[in-house]
Amino acid sequence: MREAYLDNSATTPVCRQAADKVMEMMLENYGNPSSLHTKGIEAQRELDRARSVLAGALKCRADELTFTSGATEANNLALLGGAYARRRRGNRVVISAVAHSSVMAAAAQLEKEGFEVVRIGTDAYGRIDPAEFAAAITPKTILTSMELVNNETGAIQPVSCMARAVKKVNAPALIHVDAVQAFGKIVVSPQKLGAHLLSVSAHKIRGPKGVGALYVQHGTHLLPRLYGGEQERKLRPGTEALPLIAGFGAAVQALLALSEGTAHATALRTLLLEKLGTMAGITINSPDDGLPYILNFSVPGIRSETMLHHLAQHGVYVSSGSACARGHKSHVLEAMKLDNDRIDSAIRVSFGHQNTEEDVLQLANALQTGLDTLTRRRER
């Protein structure tokens, strides 16, 4: 059966360049960058290369990047390491109520430890109001965090409001941006966004799973979450996962030009919206001005899992809310105050550079047969 993988916000197929690089690093360039002999020096060179490639893409200094095991770790390091480092200067942490679970859970942990955590909600399309977010930032705020692109709805959030608000009240706050779903799709520049900390992940841009990075602005102090050797400026000790890191670098190098990717995703989204428009009862949950790569909609009356299963039987892979929220009601759609029927029947389609119009047509056909058969079964 032909397969249409339309779940690229969950993860992406690894591109050939990254896969080849991972293999090369495992089989040939297998040294430990800390070793003093030739094998170590060659490995160190690859580590440096990957770091400068990523620094080039983020327009930052190479020594501002710390490789981690992914964005979950980067987000935890940012929130916990940032809050602990500043705890003497205040107690308040302000985050997006629709953040990824790795931010939500790290903030909940801070709350348990006595920090005051404020979560800022959204409008009905998942968009944060910059004035509302800014108003929550007080002179006692030590950390603020927002996602640049929401992983469930594609909403592009007003992250620059954090820097402006922090400056206005002269708060001792570190500003964190979760740029996982934005990187490789729109311009991501920590400097332009006024961020001290910014997280990215390789497996959302056709790199390998299990590697990400945290941008830490030069001069910003964080408390590490791990203690060990001298790697990653002691902020993230442990022998570097060089095959994954070098694969990440190769995936960054292989990224399409942003405009090319946007045009492609917009064409696919337009086609899908046109098809959805012909189907009765579908409601769109994503904002019009969101990232074109993500489209969230509800098929009221048919539970997400039921539709997901039906689509998978037709070779079509999408997601219900976010893959990380398996089995739970999406906290994002709840924050948007959608009714339960819409939350329970939400489907997230996310496009990748490898998708074609044929994939969208296959999805539309499978959705239509799902609507016909599953609704009928429910009515019986």
Position with the least CB separation from ligand PMP? 70
Nearest approach, Cβ of residue 279 and ligand PMP (Å): 27
Q: Tokens 């964080």 belong to which residue? A: 222
Q: What is the CA radius of gyration of the chain?
A: 21
How many CB atoms lie under 10 A from the CB of residue 285? 27
Residue 212 within binding range of ligand PMP, rule CB under 6 A: yes
Closest to ligand PMP by CB, 90 or 292: 292
Residue 241 within binding range of ligand PMP, rule CB under 6 A: no
Q: Are 344 and 304 in contact (CB under 8 A)?
A: yes
Nearest approach, Cβ of residue 156 and ligand PMP (Å): 12
Closest to ligand PMP by CB, 102 or 231: 102
Residue 201 within binding range of ligand PMP, rule CB under 6 A: yes
DSSP string of 32-82, one letter each residue: -TT-SSHHHHHHHHHHHHHHHHHHHHHTS-GGGEEEESSHHHHHHIIIIIH
Residue 105 within binding range of ligand PMP, rule CB under 6 A: no
Residue 180 within binding range of ligand PMP, rule CB under 6 A: yes
324 included as an active-site residue: yes
Q: Are 189 and 59 in contact (CB under 8 A)?
A: yes
Secondary-structure percent of the chain, ordered helix, strand, coil, rounded to 5: 45, 15, 40
Task: Kindly write out the interface string for residues 332-371 of this chain, putting x where it contacts ligand PMP by CB under 6 A and - elsewhere.
Answer: ----------------------------------------
Residue 184 within binding range of ligand PMP, rule CB under 6 A: no
Residue 151 within binding range of ligand PMP, rule CB under 6 A: yes
Residue 198's Cβ-side half-sphere holds a number of Cα atoms within 13 Å equal to: 30
The binder of ligand PMP chosen from 7, 46, 64, 147 (CB under 6 A): 147
Residue 154 within binding range of ligand PMP, rule CB under 6 A: no
Q: Which amino acid is at 369?
A: T
Closest to ligand PMP by CB, 169 or 241: 241
Closest to ligand PMP by CB, 182 or 363: 182
What dihedral angle (degrees, nearest 10) is formed by the CA atoms of 317, 147, 217, 22? Answer: 0
* Tokens at 33, concatenated: 């960058």
The site that binds ligand PMP (CB under 6 A) totals a number of residues, namely 14
Q: Are 175 and 124 in contact (CB under 8 A)?
A: no
Closest to 133 (Cα-Cα) out of 125, 121, 124: 121
Nearest approach, Cβ of residue 209 and ligand PMP (Å): 7
Task: Kindly write out the interface string for residues 288-327 of this chain, putting x where it contacts ligand PMP by CB under 6 A and - elsewhere.
Answer: ------------------------------------x---
Closest to ligand PMP by CB, 178 or 232: 178
Nearest approach, Cβ of residue 140 and ligand PMP (Å): 27
Closest to ligand PMP by CB, 43 or 177: 177
Residue 100 within binding range of ligand PMP, rule CB under 6 A: yes
- Give CB contacts under 8 A, 24+ apart, made by 353-357: 353/206, 353/256, 353/261, 353/264, 354/5, 354/13, 355/4, 355/5, 355/6, 355/8, 355/264, 355/268, 357/267, 357/268, 357/271
Nearest approach, Cβ of residue 270 and ligand PMP (Å): 24
Residue 70 within binding range of ligand PMP, rule CB under 6 A: yes
- Contacting residues toward ligand PMP, per CB under 6 A: 70-72, 75, 100, 102, 147, 151, 178, 180-181, 201, 212, 324
**What are the catalytic residues?**
324
